[in-house]
Amino acid sequence: MCALFFVLCGSVHAQQKDKVFRIGFLDPSTVSGSAAILETFRQELRKLGWVEGKNISIEYRFAEQKNDRMRELAAELVRLNVDLIVTSGNPTALEAKKATSTIPIVMVISGDPVGLGLVASLARPGGNVTGMSTLAVELNTKKLEILKDAIPKLDRVGLLQGSSYNPGVEQQLQELRVAASALQVKLEEIKTEFDPQSLETAFKTAKQKQVKAIMPAALRSFFAGRKQIVELAGKYQLPGIYGRKEYVDEGGLMSYGSGYDEEYRKAAYYVDKILKGAKPADLPVQQATKFEFVINLKAAKQIDLTIPPRVLERADRVIR
């Protein structure tokens, strides 16, 4: 009996070792808009011994900026019986959770997962979801304060938001409205789709409303179009603050927050643990702890904006 037990254990171990795990990757944006973060994610997986085409395969599903497609794509990944699903942003995580209560889900870029019902608590997620939380709500308030300090006469800010209902954005709006009132700044909420023509129209609307600065809501779909958003901000002479340093890398004025690259590296570690047998319910949700304030003086010069010295002194990095 002992000999049989060891033979069976060895057989199971060999099967597990030879198995090619299938990972579902669900994203609301585009292939091109996600290329950089995907490469970061795959690089980190390779460091952990997971090589695409060898012991893992990845099923990529992109909603192409169409929120109404995410439910269908989540259901498709469940039908494929993938071993794990990685989601980007609140809407994709919510749709994946609706689609399955058994397949592990690793969420990335999720704001307030407890409030949205994705997990029971950060320390004990409890179900089939775990991953990273972004503190998007709290960071938006901080970004508005930075804008006010950088532009002393600021009295009107244009907030770009998606046209579809998004519970995560609603949370952001509630906090921002309170913060705007306290700072004596009027918040102009401008809804837009994420295609180039719609974004151009949104900036025209911002100018018509006489806003003196803009900030996009923390959405993956805006991140995918960051290059055009930054270019439009320059074209319409509008100072902007963004939640990711990648916007400044594209020529944006200011950013405050963490980088997507770090969050996707950490997501790879969750994937590694789960594929090796850990349960999402037992893996605490991590919150971003490192935030960087970046100022691009080249962009400031382009729109004839002088950043006060006291604001420059607070920056972690200044691009001259």
At 222, list the tokens. 């805006």
Residue 310: pLDDT above 50? yes
pLDDT tier for residue 3 given thresholds of 50, 70 and 90? low
Digit-coded pLDDT (tens) for 112-144? 899 889 999 999 999 999 999 887 777 888 999
Residue 216 contacts residue 250 (beta carbons within 8 Å): no
Q: Name the strands in the sheet holding 241-242, side by side, starting at the edge strand that comes first in the sequence.
A: 241-242, 254-257, 292-296, 317-319
pLDDT tier for residue 16 given thresholds of 50, 70 and 90? low
Domains and CATH numbers, the chain: 19-134+260-287 (3.40.50.2300), 136-257+292-319 (3.40.50.2300)
Q: 174: Cβ–Cβ under 8 A, 6 or more apart, which residues?
A: none
Digit-coded pLDDT (tens) for 218-247? 888 898 889 999 999 999 999 999 998 999
What is the spatial distance between Cα 183 and Cα 146, in angstroms, rounded to a whole number? 11
What is the spatial distance between Cα 186 and Cα 180, in angstroms, rounded to a whole number? 6
* pLDDT at 211 (0 to 100): 97
Digit-coded pLDDT (tens) for 73-115? 999 999 999 999 999 988 899 999 999 999 999 999 888 899 8
Residue 145: pLDDT above 60? yes
Model's pTM, two decimal places? 0.85
Strand partners, 21: 56
- The average pLDDT across 265-280 equals 97
* pLDDT at 141 (0 to 100): 87
At 81, list the tokens. 């019986």
Residue 78 contacts residue 59 (beta carbons within 8 Å): no
